């Protein structure tokens, strides 16, 4: 290693200490603030209490009240039907049970026909009223929910930035997609069910007390027990769901963190550790699930035990009241009326829970809607001057952020920016530079002092007018997921420019803006020109292309003031040069405020202002400030490139610089145009593409944003259709049930015992129908002694069923629940393990994005659990129930059994239709709203850009237009779904009517006796109900099958580069030299096979050498890191480490000799100690090793200054540390590995000068004594490299030492000249 590097380090130690003191102070405040935020978050739910129920209907219009009123009346009618049916039942049964003793055919015929007519009328009325209650309430709820959605989005879009500082955008989008759906449930059909249940409850109890108050009173005593059992059951289910969900959420968070940072995990061989961490959380989730299953089983068992015990009590006491106080028919009427009333009250639970949930979440929604924003972009108030020249004055401005009042940002800051001049702001991170931009844009208002534009206080100006005068280009410009043309039109001041200008005028404006922004040529070279999609967040474009589109977008609004916030910091030198030229062009004749860390970009500014801690330290031109030799000069020296040393024999040295000019010529002009490298998924890392002939731009509708949204929706529908076709193909495959149960092999005894108990549970209801029929027949016996003996016997039978029901319910639910939870854990564990062994290319496929995979990891195992858990229990139970019911029915009267079985398909279909329509309605509505939700999500996620571009109203208009179709689909779906509900409610009455009529005829003909009629009827009816439930399981089975096939496809997939493989060469660290070489590498990413990346590139790094790779974005620099880490394999050529082909190495052993520090290093949500130890082999390191690595990385003193030292948790992605601190922790993590090869990928590019100096010092120490390959855009960081390789278009075009390459005056010399900070000529 060159001695100059060590000298550099010594010089920079002092600045590291100073920087650390500042960082420490800031972080102490930050950590304190985090703690305060956490305490505030704990208290936050109190801020929005539940709203009163009636407040949910605040957006109801007169038409909605008409719909709800009519729906409520119909719901009451539906509710009345069941208790009224008990009256008819009582009369018919009285006649049937008396017939064996009276033998009066006419009385039987007349009474039954009368009852059948009543039942038919009730059935028809109930069908109509049930449809009306459901349809009208769904219609009304959908109308009100649409209004709430629109009002909420408008309210969010009009808020000031302080609102978004304390409210995560994810929380807002969750409320948009989730909470409003909860409110909709609470104001639609669930309210109708409350009216229905309450009317059934009241009618049932009124009829019961009218027909026999004594029996009604006794049965009512058991009523609190029933209610208690139902509540217990509900609570146990809720607790199980909540506890398990929390535990699985923690496991899911680990999966999300690991899969989104898989390159880091892979590089440091952390797969086994992460699997162990994930498994630990899964075990807790499994335990919670098993506990829940036990609670659920016991609660369900107790509930059914109380129900059957109540039947026993009711029938025994009812028998005592015959014949003195009641007839047998009245006993049946009272019994049914009370049970119907009690169950109706029980059915209130889910509906009231939905309403309660709605009143809970509505508080936050309505609070946001009612919040008055102090800076409202929708407001029409404020001055709108006709002319704006662009003079900006800050007068004595002080400011702190609303969330951190104890941390001053600006202190009495004063600055005048003359119209048409360029002022540059420079200084360390946290000095207040970006805050000035935010105050001028009026994201916030200053605490004191004034900011004026053309002499007018910004507070007196209209917010929209002010922002329309300003164009802004930031460090990471946000493009929307639209075409280039649409993104440019969004920049215009008009919300819908296509309605203000002709297409020709717009095209001219677009071309002019693109030419000024130096973007026209590359846009024309894109596959579809202006109509090329930029991808999500502009992901299909390189950093330079995004920046130039953002500049063009700013120019489209013809701003009087241009704000450039770090607009070139993340770019390579070539891209920076092009973008800087565009910025210089854009700034002409405009007031321009530039914030820059790269000082080479602001040399020509009219005024340079150096800031520190919210104050101006010094100001002047570039040359004036250099002459002062103060703070600015220090910043310049930190970035200055050393001049090439004059040496004798320079010409000889020059010959040593290998210049591959022929290769350079082969790179076409088109090679400059690049798209993001999907393989690496990293900002600024791109690949060259061969560009085909230009497609003509769309002649019509191209400028219409609403039409474009429609086109996107249609494209999404086509993709959904393709997905459904693929699912159908997958469903044709057989489900490997044996393999699935094999995974549950250890729980075979649980499954066996559970199956036996479920079968027993299935027999309970046929047994109930038998005893029920017998006891009713006993009621009709005129002999007191025989009647009392019979009643006593059958009441005891009910007690036995009651105890049996407790045992079979409890044991079956516990057994299947336990087996299901264990299977879920195994499936998730094995799936996660399979994911961790896949090659990186697998995750480059859009179908395998982190979000999709973590969703599948959570959902698929849960779906499959149903095949082994609850669904299997239900199938066994229903099979036993159907078999026992049919045997019982056929043995008591096959003729009536066949008649009633004829209605069975109708009853089964009605049950299934009711279930599937309601669930289908929900999923269709959800799908329909997804596209509109995406628009809202995009606007909210990128709210700062939306504010800057004053496009709040445009996004609101597009959202409103996009929810019209889903709204219509939802209403239509609700009206159709109500048909299933109506059939389910009405058809049961018609079945009873047919069964009673046929049974009475068979009795009169002498084919059957009256007791047998009742036995057959109830046996078949209970069997039909069971069939309906079974058919409702069909959709769950389909989902479970798809999920199981998906899981097994993943488990069976063979990884092309498997880190878990034990094969390959293993070398001890002491035997490894650290020679890294790629020979004639040819490569393109599997996700983009037609896009060449490496086209014969060769590099070699010898032991102890530092080799630097430089070149424009897309030249293959970062790809080389991926090849050496063996994330990917070359298509042609060879990659070697220590003269062994990488493919021959044991993968885990190979990576144990390599360490990587990236541009944006990923830290895990651990303590600093654990993050550093993560780099050690197997993650095991002593305290001494950790501290040694930290000292080398220049971070030890800072860590010790923190309250919790090395135990300080860094937060998600290291969010609680600054950029410089994160980098140094990452360097320590790399050093503790004692690597033979150190890979540094843009390790300082995103840092300010002060942080860069400290981190660079740490990197210099890290590189000592080991082979190092460095990728850098800032050439000041690689001046002392032993060898520099210049790449372009996937080939090496120059290589040599720094001085030799400068003297060769080629591509490298141009890059250096572009970044030079030498004093300007006067």
Asked if the model's pLDDT at residue 109 lies above 80, the reply is yes
954 Cβ contact list (under 8 Å, min separation 6):
490, 495, 496, 705
pLDDT of residue 1317: 56
**Range of lowest pLDDT (233-237, 450-454, 614-618):** 233-237
pLDDT of residue 1201: 84
Query: What letters, b where the CB count within 10 A reaches 16 and e where it falls short, cover 1050-1064?
Result: beeeebebebeeeee
Asked if the model's pLDDT at residue 540 lies above 60, the reply is yes
pLDDT of residue 636: 81
> How far is it, in rounded angstroms, from Cα 942 to Cα 921?
32
pLDDT of residue 57: 92
pLDDT of residue 1285: 93
Among 775-779, 846-850, 1304-1308, top mean pLDDT goes to 1304-1308
Asked if the model's pLDDT at residue 648 lies above 60, the reply is no
Query: What letters, b where the CB count within 10 A reaches 16 and e where it falls short, cover 580-599?
Result: bebbeebbeebbbbbbbbbb
pLDDT interval class at 1160 (50, 70, 90): confident
Q: How large is the angle between the packed helices 1010-1032 and 62-102, nearest 10 degrees? A: 150
pLDDT interval class at 719 (50, 70, 90): low
Pairing of strands 686-688, 674-676: antiparallel
pLDDT of residue 305: 87
DSSP codes, 1272-1287: -SSGGGGTT-SEEEEE
**Range of lowest pLDDT (384-388, 871-875, 928-932, 1274-1278):** 928-932
Q: Higher model confidence: residue 475 or residue 437?
A: 437
pLDDT of residue 206: 92
The model carries a pTM of 0.66
Asked if the model's pLDDT at residue 1004 lies above 70, the reply is yes
pLDDT interval class at 1025 (50, 70, 90): low
428 Cβ contact list (under 8 Å, min separation 6):
22, 612, 1248, 1249, 1250, 1251
On whether the CB atoms of residues 115 and 377 are closer than 8 A, the answer is no
pLDDT interval class at 19 (50, 70, 90): very low
Pairing of strands 658-659, 591-595: unpaired
In degrees, to the nearest 5, what angle opens at C-alpha 480 toward C-alphas 475 and 483?
120
pLDDT of residue 731: 64
CA atoms within 13 A on the CB side of 194: 17
Q: Higher model confidence: residue 73 or residue 1258?
A: 73
* DSSP single-letter state for residue 1074: -
Per-residue pLDDT, averaged over 718-738, amounts to 69
Query: Between the CA atoms of 23, 25, 29 and 30, what dihedral angle is there, to the nearest 10 degrees?
Result: 10
**Range of lowest pLDDT (249-258, 794-803, 939-948):** 249-258
pLDDT of residue 716: 59
On whether the CB atoms of residues 1147 and 1059 are closer than 8 A, the answer is yes
Asked if the model's pLDDT at residue 683 lies above 50, the reply is no
Q: pLDDT, tens digit, for every residue of 945-972?
A: 888 888 888 888 888 888 888 888 888 8
Query: What's the burial of 49, exposed, middle or buried (CB within 10 Å: 0-12/13-18/19+)?
Result: exposed
Asked if the model's pLDDT at residue 1116 lies above 50, the reply is yes
Asked if the model's pLDDT at residue 589 lies above 80, the reply is no
pLDDT of residue 641: 56
Tokens in use for 196? 């229905």
* CA dist 826 → 351, 371, 636, 860, 1303 (Å): 35, 48, 58, 12, 64
> How far is it, in rounded angstroms, from Cα 591 to Cα 437?
13
| Percent of the chain with pLDDT strictly greater than 90 | 13
Average pLDDT of the chain to the nearest whole number: 78
> Among candidates 148, 31, 177, 316, which has minimal Cα distance to 928?
177
> How far is it, in rounded angstroms, from Cα 1154 to Cα 1148?
10
Q: pLDDT, tens digit, for every residue of 1138-1150?
A: 988 999 999 889 9
Cα-Cα end-to-end distance for the chain: 40
pLDDT of residue 16: 41
pLDDT of residue 125: 94
> How far is it, in rounded angstroms, from Cα 844 to Cα 679?
5
pLDDT interval class at 922 (50, 70, 90): low
Query: Is the bond leading into 137 cis (omega within 30 degrees of zero)?
Result: no
Among 101-105, 116-120, 531-535, 1264-1268, top mean pLDDT goes to 116-120
Tokens in use for 275? 């699997």
On whether the CB atoms of residues 904 and 1027 are closer than 8 A, the answer is yes
Per-residue pLDDT, averaged over 83-90, amounts to 85
**Range of lowest pLDDT (54-63, 565-574, 1157-1166):** 565-574
> How far is it, in rounded angstroms, from Cα 517 to Cα 579?
8
Q: Higher model confidence: residue 903 or residue 628?
A: 628
Q: pLDDT, tens digit, for every residue of 1055-1107?
A: 888 888 888 888 888 888 889 999 999 998 887 777 788 899 999 999 988 99
pLDDT of residue 1172: 92
Tokens in use for 1257? 């010092």
Tokens in use for 158? 């009009």
Per-residue pLDDT, averaged over 803-823, amounts to 90
pLDDT of residue 64: 93
Q: pLDDT, tens digit, for every residue of 347-396?
A: 776 788 788 888 888 888 898 899 888 888 888 888 889 888 889 999 99
pLDDT of residue 167: 74
Asked if the model's pLDDT at residue 41 lies above 50, the reply is no
Asked if the model's pLDDT at residue 6 lies above 60, the reply is no
1098 three-class SS: strand
> How far is it, in rounded angstroms, from Cα 305 to Cα 805?
6
| Rg of the chain in Å (alpha carbons) | 38
Q: pLDDT, tens digit, for every residue of 459-507?
A: 999 988 898 888 888 777 788 878 888 888 888 877 677 767 788 888 8
On whether the CB atoms of residues 308 and 802 are closer than 8 A, the answer is yes
* CA dist 1001 → 350, 769, 1009 (Å): 42, 22, 10
pLDDT of residue 662: 34
539 three-class SS: coil
Classify the phi-psi angles of 629: left when phi > 0, otherwise alpha if psi is within -120 to 50, otherwise beta: left
pLDDT of residue 1316: 66
pLDDT of residue 696: 36
Among 120-129, 401-410, 1065-1074, 1232-1241, top mean pLDDT goes to 120-129
Q: pLDDT, tens digit, for every residue of 1185-1218?
A: 999 888 888 888 888 888 888 988 887 767 677 7
pLDDT of residue 1269: 92
> Among candidates 211, 810, 316, 702, which has minimal Cα distance to 484?
702
Q: pLDDT, tens digit, for every residue of 220-245?
A: 877 677 667 666 666 655 655 555 56
């Amino acid at each position: 290693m060159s001695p100059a590097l060590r000298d550099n380090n010594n010089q920079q130690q002092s600045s590291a200490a100073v920087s650390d003191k500042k960082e420490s102070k800031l972080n102490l405040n930050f950590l304190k603030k985090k703690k305060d935020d956490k305490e505030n978050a704990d208290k936050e739910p109190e801020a929005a209490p539940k709203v009163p129920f009636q407040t949910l209907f605040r957006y109801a219009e007169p038409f909605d009240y008409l719909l709800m009123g009519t729906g409520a009346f119909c719901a009451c009618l539906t509710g009345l039907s069941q208790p009224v049916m008990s009256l008819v039942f009582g009369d018919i049964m009285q006649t049937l049970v008396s017939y064996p003793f009276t033998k009066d055919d006419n009385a039987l015929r007349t009474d039954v026909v009368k009852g059948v007519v009543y039942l038919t009328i009730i059935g028809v009325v109930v069908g109509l009223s049930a449809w009306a209650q459901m349809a009208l309430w769904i219609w009304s709820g959908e109308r009100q929910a649409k209004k709430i959605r629109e009002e909420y989005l408008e309210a969010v879009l009009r808020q000031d930035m302080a609102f978004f500082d304390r409210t995560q955008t994810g929380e807002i989008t969750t409320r948009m997609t989730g909470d409003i759906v909860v409110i909709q449930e609470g104001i639609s059909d669930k309210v109708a069910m409350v009216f229905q249940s309450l009317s059934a409850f009241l009618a049932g109890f009124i009829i019961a007390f009218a027909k026999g108050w004594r029996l009604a009173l006794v049965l009512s005593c058991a009523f609190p027990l029933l209610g208690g059992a139902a509540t217990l059951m509900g609570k146990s289910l809720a607790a199980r769901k909540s506890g398990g969900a929390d535990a699985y959420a923690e496991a899911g968070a680990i999966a999300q963190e690991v899969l989104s940072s898989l390159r880091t995990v892979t590089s440091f061989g952390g797969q086994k550790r992460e699997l162990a961490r994930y498994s630990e959380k899964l075990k807790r989730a499994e335990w919670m699930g098993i506990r829940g299953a036990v609670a659920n089983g016991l609660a369900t068992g107790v509930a059914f035990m109380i129900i059957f015990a109540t039947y026993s009590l009711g029938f025994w006491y009812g028998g005592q009241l015959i014949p003195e106080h009641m007839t047998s028919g009245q006993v049946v009427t009272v019994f049914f009326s009370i049970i119907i009333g009690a169950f109706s009250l029980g059915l209130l639970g889910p509906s009231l829970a939905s309403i309660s949930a709605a009143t809970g979440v509505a508080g936050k929604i309505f609070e946001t809607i009612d919040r008055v924003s102090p800076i409202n972009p929708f407001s029409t108030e404020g001055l709108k001057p006709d002319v704006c020249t662009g003079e900006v004055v800050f007068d004595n401005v002080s400011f702190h952020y609303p969330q951190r009042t104890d941390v001053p940002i600006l202190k009495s800051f004063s600055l005048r920016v003359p119209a048409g001049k360029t002022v540059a702001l420079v200084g360390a991170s946290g000095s207040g530079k970006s805050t000035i931009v935010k105050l001028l844009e009026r994201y916030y208002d200053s605490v004191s002092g004034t900011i004026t534009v053309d002499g007018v206080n910004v507070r007196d100006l209209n917010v929209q007018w002010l922002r329309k005068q300003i164009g802004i280009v930031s460090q990471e410009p946000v493009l929307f997921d639209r075409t280039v043309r649409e993104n440019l039109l969004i920049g215009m001041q008009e919300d819908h420019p296509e309605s203000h200008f002709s297409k020709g005028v717009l095209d001219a404006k677009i071309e002019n803006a693109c030419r000024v922004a130096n973007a026209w040529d590359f846009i024309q070279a894109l596959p579809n020109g202006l109509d090329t999609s930029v991808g999500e967040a502009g992901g299909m474009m390189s950093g330079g292309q995004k920046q130039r589109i953002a500049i063009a977008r700013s120019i489209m609004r013809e701003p009087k003031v241009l704000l450039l916030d770090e607009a070139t910091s993340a770019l390579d030198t070539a891209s920076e040069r092009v973008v800087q030229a565009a910025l210089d062009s854009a700034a002409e004749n405009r007031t321009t405020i530039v914030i820059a860390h790269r000082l080479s970009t602001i040399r020509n500014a009219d005024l340079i202002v150096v800031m520190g801690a919210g104050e101006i330290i010094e100001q002047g031109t570039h040359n004036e400030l250099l002459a002062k030799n103060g703070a600015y000069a220090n910043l310049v020296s930190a970035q200055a490139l050393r001049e090439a040393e004059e040496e004798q024999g320079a010409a000889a040295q020059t010959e040593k610089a290998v210049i591959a000019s022929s290769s350079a010529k082969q790179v076409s002009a088109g090679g400059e145009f690049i798209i993001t490298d999907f393989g690496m998924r990293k900002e600024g890392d791109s690949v060259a593409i061969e560009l085909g002939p230009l497609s003509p731009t769309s002649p019509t509708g191209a400028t219409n944003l609403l039409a474009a949204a429609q086109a996107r929706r249609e494209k999404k529908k086509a993709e959904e259709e393709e997905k459904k076709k693929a699912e159908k193909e997958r469903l044709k495959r057989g489900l490997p049930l044996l393999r699935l149960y094999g995974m549950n092999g250890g729980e075979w005894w649980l499954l066996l015992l559970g199956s036996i108990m479920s079968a027993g549970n299935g027999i309970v209801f046929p047994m109930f129908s038998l005893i029920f029929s017998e006891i009713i027949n006993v009621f009709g016996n005129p002999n007191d002694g025989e009647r009392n003996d019979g009643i006593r016997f059958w009441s005891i039978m009910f007690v036995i069923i009651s105890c049996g029901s407790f045992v079979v319910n409890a044991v079956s639910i516990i057994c299947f629940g336990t087996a299901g939870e264990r299977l879920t854990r195994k499936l998730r564990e094995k799936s996660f393990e399979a994911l961790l062994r896949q090659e990186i290319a697998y995750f480059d496929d859009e179908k395998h994005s982190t979000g999709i995979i973590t969703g599948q990891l959570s959902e698929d195992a849960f779906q499959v659990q149903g095949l082994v858990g609850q669904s299997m229990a239900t199938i066994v139970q229903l099979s036993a129930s159907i078999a026992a019911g049919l045997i019982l029915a056929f043995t008591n009267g096959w003729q009536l059994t066949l008649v009633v079985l004829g209605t069975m398909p109708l009853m089964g279909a009605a049950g299934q239709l009711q279930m599937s329509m309601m669930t289908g309605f929900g999923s269709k509505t959800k799908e329909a709203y997804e596209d509109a939700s995406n628009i809202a999500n995009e606007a909210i996620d990128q709210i700062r850009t939306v504010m800057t571009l004053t496009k709040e109203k445009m996004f609101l208009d597009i959202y409103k237009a996009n929810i019209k179709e889903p709204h219509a689909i939802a209403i239509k779906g609700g009206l159709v779904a109500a048909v299933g509900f109506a059939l389910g409610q009405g058809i049961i009455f018609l079945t009873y009517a047919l069964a009673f009529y046929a049974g009475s005829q068979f009795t009169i003909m002498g084919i059957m006796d009256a007791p047998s009629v009742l036995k057959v009827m109830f046996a078949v009816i209970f069997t039909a109900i069971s069939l309906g439930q079974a058919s409702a399981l069909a959709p769950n089975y389909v989902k479970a099958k798809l999920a199981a096939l998906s899981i097994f496809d993943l488990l069976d997939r063979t990884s092309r580069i498997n880190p878990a493989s034990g094969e390959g060469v293993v070398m001890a660290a002491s035997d490894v030299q650290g020679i890294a070489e790629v020979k004639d590498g040819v490569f393109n990413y599997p996700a983009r096979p037609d896009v060449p990346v490496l086209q014969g590139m060769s590099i070699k790094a010898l032991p102890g050498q530092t080799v630097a790779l430089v070149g424009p974005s897309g030249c293959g620099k970062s790809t080389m890191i991926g090849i050496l880490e063996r994330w990917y394999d070359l298509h042609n050529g060879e990659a070697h480490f220590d003269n062994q082909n990488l493919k021959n190495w044991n993968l885990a052993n190979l990576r144990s000799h390599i360490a990587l520090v990236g541009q944006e290093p990923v830290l895990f949500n651990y303590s600093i100690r654990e993050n550093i130890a993560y780099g050690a082999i197997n993650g095991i390191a002593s305290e001494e090793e950790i501290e040694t690595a930290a000292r080398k990385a220049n971070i030890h003193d800072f860590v010790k200054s923190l309250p919790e030292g090395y135990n300080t948790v860094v937060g998600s992605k290291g969010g609680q540390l600054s950029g410089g601190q994160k980098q140094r922790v990452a360097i320590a993590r790399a050093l503790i590995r004692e690597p033979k090869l150190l890979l540094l990928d843009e390790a300082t590019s995103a840092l300010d000068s002060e942080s860069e100096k400290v981190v660079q010092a740490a990197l210099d120490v890290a590189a000592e004594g080991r082979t190092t390959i460095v990728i850098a855009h800032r050439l000041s960081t690689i001046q002392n490299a032993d060898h520099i390789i210049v790449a372009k278009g996937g080939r090496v075009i120059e290589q040599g030492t720094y001085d030799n390459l400068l003297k060769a005056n080629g591509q490298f010399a141009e890059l250096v000249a572009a970044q030079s900070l030498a004093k300007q000529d006067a």
